[in-house]
A and B are shown apart, each in its own frame.
Chain A
Amino acid sequence: METDGTAPIAILNGREVEVRPGDTILAAAKRLGIDIPTLCHHESLPVQGGCRMCVVYSAAHERPLAACHTPLEPGMDLLTHHVSVERLRKTLMSLRGATADATGFSAAGVRYGRYAALASLYGGGDGGKNGDGVSGYRDRTHPMMRFRGSACIDCRLCLEACEELAGQSVFQLGGRGVGATVGIVGERTFSESPCVACGACAEVCPTGAVRGSDGAYGSLEEYAVETVPTVCGFCGVGCRMEGVADLEEGENVVRVAGIRGAAVNDGLLCQRGRFGYRFQRSWDRLEKPMLRQGAGFREVSWEEALDFLEGKLRTVLDESGPGAFGAIASTRATNESVYLLQKFCRSVIGSPHVDSAARLCHVSGGEALRRATGASVGTGSFADIEAARCIVVAGANPDVSHPVLGNRIRRAVARGARLVVLDVRWTEMAERADVFLQVSPGTDVAVFHALALALMEGGHLDRGGLLDRTEGLKAYEDFVAEFPVEAVEDFAGLRTGSIRAAAALIGKARERTLFLYGLGLTQQFHGTGAVESLWNLAVLAGCVGGRGGGIMPFGGQNNLQGCLDLGGATEWLPGHYPARDPEAVSLFTEAWGRLPDPESVGPGLNSLQMIEAAAAGRLRALWVQGHDLLRSLPREDFVAEALGKLDLLVVQELFYTEMCAKAHLLLPSASFLEQDGTFTSAERRIQRLAPVVPPPGEARPDWTPLVLMARRLGVDWKMLEASQIFAEIARLVPDLFGGVSHARLREEPDGLQWPCPNADHPGTPTLHTAGMVTGKARFFPVDVPLSIEHRVPDYPFLAMTGRALEHHNTGSMTRRGPARNLRTADTVELHPQDAARAGIADGARVRVESRHGACVAIATLTPRIRPGALWLTNHFPQTHANRLFGDVADPESGCPQFKAVAVRVEPAAKG
């Protein structure tokens, strides 16, 4: 160890080690690469001090010192493997076998992990008296989690991980002495417990007593296997994970684990991230291009597929011009694939009709923030969660949709942050809230205005300061005066006083208030207005541009942000340049050689408009990247009809989804576990993924056929690797991405938050620190009428769709993993009072009918939902939940209203 001669020194096994503040012997030993045995220690968890395997010898002390919790002191001279402590370790390891009669312990099934490693050194792997280890309590009730009491050494790491890391409480301790056993709460099973199957407990288990149903337990560091660090491909949090391929073929992912120390998730994953990977080796992956033949498909070579594609494209273009082509990108595809798809559409074909799945969720919030700040993105980082004094969660249930963030919020609340939740449902997050505003659907804007009024009336704000940094305050004050607090509480169905209580919390935290919003706000007729009116509160609080404050979306998909950043919406070019901005047009024309000619192709169409155009025969060819339009757009039957009219529907997919039946050509995609590239999370964090395994069969990353097709159409695209595509993006939009490259992202695995203009720039966690590009902050006096879905005669309920913990969006990935056994059908939540009136029993099949269509789901009666509202999950194709929805969409952004449709309910007919 190199020291500068002044630092205090201790000696470990004859080697000098610097004594650092807060150092334990164990930490110092780790720095020297000395491995001190431990069973109950984990770096991320509170010290247990129970196993005593870490004792080290010191001549100066009466007894050996426990390395895990004894502070290293200057002058200590320690031997970690002195014969005396080695003998103690042998005795300690022998105790479990010796007491197996009382504890039921058996090492028989413990073949891997930390316990097995120590047993090979010190004994204790002999299985005790229970022989084969089949005795004792076993829990195999849960599709993802397993518990085997006989292998448990009661080290308590699972309990600590569950409580400290996951913020849940699934485990309990028994009595004292030998009765101080670890078990599942109330001696129940995982499936009866509040377990959310994040797997944090299994990751720390030294014996595999707690393990995933994939058999995984313990830290990957303890296994001599090659791991590939990558990024989770489910939601927009951007958790870093590492994957392991099977040893035999190297083609299947057999385990994933969170990466400890990762900026976003610090080792945590959620159920989807931890167990969802099993879609990757599902038997029904698309592995070859498939060409429509009659009513079915036949496998073809890539060559034949591209020949077909080229022919069809040329025909459509020759006959109808570039405006007959459209492209829809996937928010789960990589930045590189999204970028190339829109570039292909705009520059190779010359069509402005490019869009993405972002249209269905966050485009309205993006539009609101663009108007407010000039940048259509959240203003801060997830790290603001920990720094905030008050967190406002509006229209989102992160415990379910973004569990790792939900967990971070809960931990922040446990440490003293205040929490305000606004939702129609009494969500898991609402349980922890200081103030819960259970609004009735569609009343959120009025509530935000009343909150603003209460903030101003409550004397929480410094008006002088506000006048300095905002414009239009007086007009806004006059405007919100029209929203008297009590009247709005009455209108929104809130408890009297709750708005003022929430305002008091925001008023106290002021610039340390973090506003987080989700689809509950954006998927409305007034989605843009809802986020604008939330923005007003952020301006009043003064929280934009500082640490611990801001306004942020919960990006639903892993690369939703990247999709919007790179032109995955018809109104935006890459880098958030407006598509009609003359300066941008000249810039991109120069770079790409061509842009759509507005004179000949007209204005760009969004996804919903493309469907209309297809139905009308104006759009003839559509290229869709990993996005099941049939399952995610409203008016399912209309979409099906429109798709049926296309001359060419090419779909890049992992699986044969519902929409594939309408396609002419299916191109097999590589999943996020099988390709190189980048994702941009909801906090603008660009992170690099890496292939854990090769794609199955002939599946390819989504960008590769685009390159080949561009070449066939006479544009010589030279990209051979994803990194070259990103380099092009960085050159094209240097202000935002100039400093980002695949090479740098390998060096900086936690990624870079754009803007990152040059190679020395550290990235930008907080935007608008020096004010908005639009100048002073402005207010949006938006007054929105209730949508036409409100107060519809004969349709007394307002239904909305949402997400369950177990599945992800259309469920095409999660339904192919163990989650399929955890949740097997879509459910509709309704209030017991409403159910009683409609004669619906819990668990009954219910027919939900709107003016647009009907669907059937299983009723869940719960007081969590407001009377008069229905909440429907939408993960199973057979439900056809989207048949309920008509063409109500936010006129500002085009985002459909999934959060309110007038319905009636009745028990479903038998059969």
Chain B
Amino acid sequence: MPVAHRLWREARERNGLGDRDLVELADRWGIPEGRLRTVANFYPRFSEPDAAGEGTAFACEGFFCGLAGGGRATAGDRAFSCPGMCDRAPVRWHPKRGFAAGTAELSEPAWDPEVELATPTVFRLARTPAFFTASAGESVAGDLYSPAFPGLRGETLLEEIGRLGPRDRRNPAVTLAERWRRAAETAADQRFVIAHAGPGDPGSQANRQLMVHEAARLLRGMECCGRAIGATEGVIHVGSENPATTAAVEEAVNRATAAGFLGTSFDVTVVPGFGSYVGGEETALLNAVEGRRGEARVFPPEPEISGLFGRPVALAEAETFVLLAALGETPVVSPATRLAAVFGDGFARPGLAEIDGDTSVRAVLEAAGVADSAWGLLFGGPRGTLLLPDEWDLLLDPAEWVSGDIRPGNWSFYALTADHEPRDVARRLLDYAAAENCGKCDPCRLGTLAARDLVKSGREPRRFGDILTAMEMTSLCDFGRQIPGPVRKLARAFGEKIFARA
């Protein structure tokens, strides 16, 4: 078992790992203490005394919970990395009692174990619905687990996927077939398929819903991908802060194994996460799955060449695999179909929007009832794109985004309204990035802090620009490269509100 996972098991058994525990475990496991601590220190949850016990609540200190006025309400509260419940922001979490949501609940939380799995409203804005069209509750095992694109494998299957043309969710400039072909073509004794819920931010809400309610399609999509690249092992990575989701996914895997779909030519393991790993960065995810520090790795080589344990991986969010399975069933489904979280107080009717390439931003905003005072849209979360009202006619089709200015991030929609000060938004974005980054590379680790301090002081806009440029240009991974996008646009559009003393 990887080191982090062993630590997690011990942390739960011992109600948190203290100094002595680590010394003892290092000795018992024959792992040098420094090496063990290096892993343990990365995951604050391992040392939380209440990691599995009664008592203290955890307050999410993610970006959206921050914007919604969240944070540690009582002195006893502990910081908690984003569990992806941004649609309920601000949230608090209790290991035994579940989540409590909303500002009103800060002092007297109403714990609700069900809230994690509660299904939000789904707006169907795509022409052909692809998601939630088959119920996971159906017991018709034969239908539920018929392979996607049966009979095809390897290059033939990759060609078929390439012909249909689904794209990578985070980086739509690349098609899945292109990415996966590299994994297929890299010589290896073993390859892996990894599905994850995306970063601990609103993107994970959509993915989590799909993991729970479209589990069969998720597994079929993963199996199909395995056939395409020659992998027999699949991994689903779910945060341990989403216990209900984890249980549902494990249950689905067990059912699929019992039905004979898994366990013969393709296996799936559910691997827990211990607090979000650097905003969904893929190489950091690989480290987390391997039980190391969830830090970005240097690349190239890309994960498709050297991914999990040095083997090639095909790695995507759950949505991608569900969509793949759906494409195999219904040829009319658009490969640009996405499930997007639309959330926050800026909307009268928040929920999940199923969109495709013909949906415009404005259509989503109108369907969800955007507030009149909205002055901006944060599309794609902290690493996405700030869209100002004159840009809202944009079509949600990556093929249209020629300039490369639009980054869809996690495809979520959050409206910035009269309740939000541009300067506060910029500061919280940088606060979040400073707290959430992995600490591996200097521009991200130090640049986020330095930029945040400049926003706080309201001075030196030129230097501010230089720092953002250094982050964009030199950061090791996409986290540091993409954080400056929305911040810079805020500064450009509302410069005088941010750098008042410039």
Contacts and interface: CB of A to CB of B under 8 A. Distances in A.
Asked if A and B bind, the verdict is yes
Interface of A: 47-52, 55, 63-64, 66, 68-71, 87-88, 91-92, 94-96, 98-99, 102-103, 153-154, 159, 162-163, 168-180, 185-186, 194, 431
B470 A186 contact: no
A178 B439 contact: yes
A71 B474 CA distance: 16
17 contacts: A52-B441, A63-B474, A69-B299, A91-B470, A92-B443, A92-B470, A95-B467, A98-B453, A175-B44, A175-B439, A176-B436, A176-B437, A178-B446, A178-B449, A180-B438, A180-B445, A185-B34
Given A50-B441, A99-B446, A102-B449, A186 B37 contact: yes
B338 interface: no
A777 B450 CA distance: 72
Given A99-B446, A177-B445, A178-B446, 20 more contacts: A49-B441, A49-B476, A52-B443, A52-B475, A52-B476, A68-B298, A69-B300, A92-B442, A95-B443, A98-B450, A99-B453, A159-B34, A172-B33, A173-B38, A176-B42, A176-B438, A177-B439, A180-B445, A186-B19, A186-B23
B469 A88 contact: yes
Q: How large is the interface on B (under 10, 10 to 19, 20 to 34, 35 or more residues)?
A: 35 or more
Contacts of A96: 442, 446
A652 to B, nearest CB: 44
Interface string B277-306: 010000000000000011100111000000
A354 B278 CA distance: 70
Given A172-B37, A178-B439, A185-B33, A49 B298 contact: yes
A176 B439 contact: yes
B3 interface: no
Interface string B442-474: 110111111001000000000100110110111
B41 interface: yes
Contacts of B476: 49-50, 52, 66
Contact of B474 (A66, A102, A173): A66
B9 interface: no
A185 B481 contact: no
A178 B445 contact: yes
Contacts of A186: 19, 22-23, 33, 37
A127 to B, nearest CB: 16
B211 to A, nearest CB: 25
B435 interface: yes
A347 to B, nearest CB: 56
A87 B466 contact: yes
B369 interface: no
Contacts of B448: 177
Interface of B: 19, 22-23, 30, 32-35, 37-38, 41-42, 44, 278, 293-295, 298-300, 434-443, 445-450, 453, 463, 466-467, 469-470, 472-476, 481
Nearest to B473: A63
A123 to B, nearest CB: 12
A92 B474 contact: yes
Nearest to A98: B450
A88 B474 contact: yes
A93 to B, nearest CB: 9
Nearest to B40: A172
B434 A177 contact: yes
A69 B298 CA distance: 7
B456 to A, nearest CB: 12
Contacts of B294: 176
Given A70-B300, A169-B34, A186-B23, A95 B41 contact: no
A139 to B, nearest CB: 15
A802 B417 CA distance: 77
Nearest to B444: A177
A210 to B, nearest CB: 14
A469 B34 CA distance: 49
B34 A177 contact: no
Which 7 residue pairs of A and B lie closest in terms of their CB atoms, listed nearest first? A180-B439, A169-B32, A49-B298, A169-B34, A95-B446, A52-B474, A98-B450
A332 to B, nearest CB: 34
Contact of A95 (B35, B298, B447): B447
A47 B440 CA distance: 12
Nearest to B39: A173
A172 B472 CA distance: 29
Nearest to B449: A99
Nearest to A39: B442
Nearest to B438: A176
Contacts of B469: 88, 91
Contacts of A162: 34
Contacts of B467: 91, 95
A68 B212 CA distance: 43
Most buried by B among A87, A168, A173, A179: A173
A91 B23 contact: no
A102 B30 CA distance: 35
Contacts of B474: 52, 55, 63-64, 66, 88, 92
A64 B475 CA distance: 10
A63 B466 contact: no
A95 B450 contact: yes
A12 to B, nearest CB: 19
Given A52-B441, A179-B439, A163 B446 contact: no
Contact of B440 (A49, A69, A99, A103): A49
B473 A55 contact: yes
A51 B476 CA distance: 9
Contact of A173 (B22, B42, B450, B453): B42
Contacts of A153: 442
Nearest to A64: B473
Nearest to B31: A169
Contacts of A431: 30
A180 B442 CA distance: 11
Contacts of A64: 473-474
A751 B437 CA distance: 49
Nearest to B434: A177
A69 B19 CA distance: 36
Contact of A175 (B34, B42, B446, B466): B42
A171 to B, nearest CB: 6
Contacts of B437: 176-177
Contacts of A102: 449
A174 B481 contact: no
Contacts of A170: 34
A103 B446 CA distance: 9
Given A52-B475, A91-B467, A185 B438 contact: no
B473 A88 contact: yes
A377 B38 CA distance: 44
Nearest to B37: A172
Contacts of A63: 472-474, 481
A50 B439 CA distance: 9
B37 A185 contact: yes
Contacts of A71: 300
A869 to B, nearest CB: 24
A476 B299 CA distance: 59
B56 to A, nearest CB: 19
B25 to A, nearest CB: 13
A52 B469 CA distance: 13
B442 A50 contact: yes
A253 B277 CA distance: 49
B26 to A, nearest CB: 9
Most buried by A among B41, B435, B437: B41
B32 A163 contact: yes
A69 B477 CA distance: 13
A749 B32 CA distance: 35
Contacts of B449: 98-99, 102, 178
A179 B439 CA distance: 7
Given A55-B473, A173-B41, A177-B437, A95 B442 contact: yes
B293 A173 contact: yes
A173 B34 CA distance: 8
Contacts of B33: 169, 172, 185-186, 194
